A = this chain, B = another copy of it.
């Protein structure tokens, strides 16, 4: 699933799809939540508070990285991951575009995602 966050024709859908796929897994959502509160964390530390092994966490972090939601930076012998929630706006734009006609709250957000 190699999806670069590009703005080409259909690129929005790909980016949004990658985000949806990444966030579809509950463990991955827990990872994102933990990352959202600690700002930066290692795979081992994350595995300490989740009911899965470090390798599983590493896989999830890699998956989130593919979607552009997470970036890792090696510092010495540990790798610190941090949240990069930019692609979330692509996913939100997709949803707003799909449902704006039916849901008033969504319609109200129409132009607010661009700037």
Contacts and interface: CB of A to CB of B under 8 A. Distances in A.
Interface of A: 9, 13, 16-17, 20-21, 23-24, 26, 29, 32-33, 36, 83-86, 88-89, 91-92, 94-99, 101-103, 105-106, 108-109, 112-113, 115
B21 A99 contact: no
Given A88-B106, A108-B112, A115-B105, A9 B24 contact: no
Given A29-B13, A83-B99, A102-B84, A92 B89 contact: no
A88 B101 contact: no
Contacts of A29: 13, 16-17, 20, 94
Given A17-B29, A24-B21, A83 B98 contact: yes
Given A24-B21, A24-B24, A32 B105 contact: no
